[in-house]
Chain A
Amino acid sequence: MAIAVIGATGRVGSEIVRGALACGEALTALVRDPGKARRTALQGRSRALGDRPGHDGDDRRHRRRQHRDRSAVRRQLGLSPSAPQLLLIPVLYVVMELTVRLGATTGKGHAEAIREHFGPRWAALSVGTLLLSLAATAGSS
């Protein structure tokens, strides 16, 4: 069952949230204060939608809050993880470039080079990490 709870951080709302989560229901919580939602049972368990209709206070503060709330909404909806993707481009490049350079200049494979320079034990450790991750990767990909 899909449930939407309005005022999910309030006295009654929070009880409903707790109960629904305990029953394992999918939940959408509507809250005015995303910070409060994060501190309560909602944390990490559901998406929180924030909005502050009719908030009283001066305009600038109101706008700032609205902005914060909107970005909170956007966060919860999960558009953002594409940034690490772009940050990983240089990481990926550095790692792969080193690998290519090692292969092309020494003419040796990775495990082979480790065996020759650091000894068979280290080579076994390195191949061991590879096989451990592969045993899992080949299954999931």
Chain B
Amino acid sequence: MALGFFELAFLVAALLAHPRIGSVAASLWSGQPVDGRGYLTLVAANLGAVVMPWMIFYQQGAVVDKGLRERQIRLARIDTGLGAVLTQVVMAAVLIVTATTLAGHRASPLTSIGAISTALSPYLGAVASRLTLALGIAGAALLASLVVSLAASWAVAEAFGSRRSLNDGPQRAPLFYGIYTICVIAGAAIVLVSHSPVRVAIDVEILNALLLPIVIGFLVALAWTTLPRPHGLRTGERLAAILLLGAIALVGAG
């Protein structure tokens, strides 16, 4: 939980960077460079970064593992709504920090975290810029490696129908803990051998966007067929689900 708070460092940085509020607001509504192919790729990457396949596996697994029941759905909805807003505000803050401080000052591409940190330092101060990025990224990475590995372990154990609770020890759920360990080690190995983390990140997000129609397809199909009576999809929700699926498929195809 505390790890996630480090991400709030980006909100502070967004304020420290003194963006012109007017231009930030204006850019939200106009001036989207929709005509560029590069931009479409970025949108797809963005979608793949925000709605990631593992989230669905993780969330459903976590809900089950925590023993959340129907009574708590209302609270869980509020929790989900707050989470959706907060994560996107943090993401927008990251963009505002980089765009405000870099706009018009720099032409060379930002292909590494170090380059981003160096580019930001004249405007935020060397210590503040390094600390912001380090805390934000370390928090995100720690959280992600934990959550992502858990999601994989749950999914594989579920597919094989074997034991899969954090409340079981490694002896009682060997497959679950085995996959978990492999994920953590494999993740570290990939980072150590790859050269540019930023480039890898964008490729992964595009891959995610391509996989998303399948993943959301399964989610919608499940919701459509398995939700019990009082919680079933209403007509409006069915419509929204179809629209969502269509939009995601379009972005994935583009």
Interface residues of A (CB under 8 A from B): 2, 26-28, 38, 43-44, 46-47, 71, 74-86, 88-115, 117-118, 120, 122-127, 129-141
Closest CB in chain A relative to B188 CB, distance in Å:
9
Interchain CB contact (< 8 A) of B216 among A88, A95, A115: A95
* A-binding segment of B44-52, B114-122, B125-133: B44-52
| Cβ contacts A to B, 21 pairs, < 8 Å | A46-B107, A78-B103, A79-B31, A82-B92, A88-B50, A88-B88, A92-B50, A94-B240, A98-B223, A99-B59, A103-B61, A107-B64, A109-B158, A110-B60, A123-B158, A126-B215, A130-B155, A136-B207, A138-B149, A138-B190, A140-B194
Interchain CB contact (< 8 A) of B214 among A75, A105, A126: A126
New contact pairs (4) apart from A2-B108, A89-B84, A103-B60, CB-CB < 8 Å: A79-B23, A97-B77, A100-B63, A104-B63
Q: Which residues does chain A contribute within 8 Å of B221, judged by CB atoms? A: 118
| A68 and chain B: residue at smallest CB distance | B31
List of 9 A-B pairs having minimum Cβ-Cβ separation, nearest first: A139-B190, A103-B63, A138-B187, A111-B158, A141-B144, A112-B158, A77-B103, A136-B204, A103-B60
Is A80 a contact of B35 with CB atoms below 8 Å? no
Say yes or no: is B15 at the interface (Cβ < 8 Å to chain A).
Answer: no
Interchain CB contact (< 8 A) of B51 among A74, A95, A120: A95
Is B145 a contact of A96 with CB atoms below 8 Å? no
Is B23 a contact of A123 with CB atoms below 8 Å? no
CA distance A86 to B93 in the complex (A): 11
Q: What count of chain B residues pass the 8 Å CB interface test? A: 108
Interface residues of B (CB under 8 A from A): 23-24, 26-33, 35-39, 42-43, 46-47, 50-57, 59-64, 68-70, 72-73, 76-77, 80-81, 83-85, 87-88, 91-92, 95-96, 99-100, 102-104, 107-109, 140-141, 144-145, 148-149, 151-152, 154-156, 158-159, 161, 164, 183-184, 186-187, 189-191, 194, 197, 200-201, 203-204, 207-208, 211, 214-216, 218-223, 225-228, 231, 240-241, 244, 247
Is B148 a contact of A129 with CB atoms below 8 Å? no
Q: Which residues does chain B contribute within 8 Å of A75, judged by CB atoms? A: 31-33
| A99 and chain B: residue at smallest CB distance | B59
Q: Which residues does chain A contribute within 8 Å of B54, judged by CB atoms? A: 130, 133-134, 137
Is A108 a contact of B64 with CB atoms below 8 Å? yes
Q: Which residues does chain A contribute within 8 Å of B194, judged by CB atoms? A: 139-140
Closest CB in chain A relative to B233 CB, distance in Å:
8
Q: Which residues does chain A contribute within 8 Å of B92, judged by CB atoms? A: 82, 85-86
CA distance A132 to B208 in the complex (A): 9
CA distance A111 to B72 in the complex (A): 22
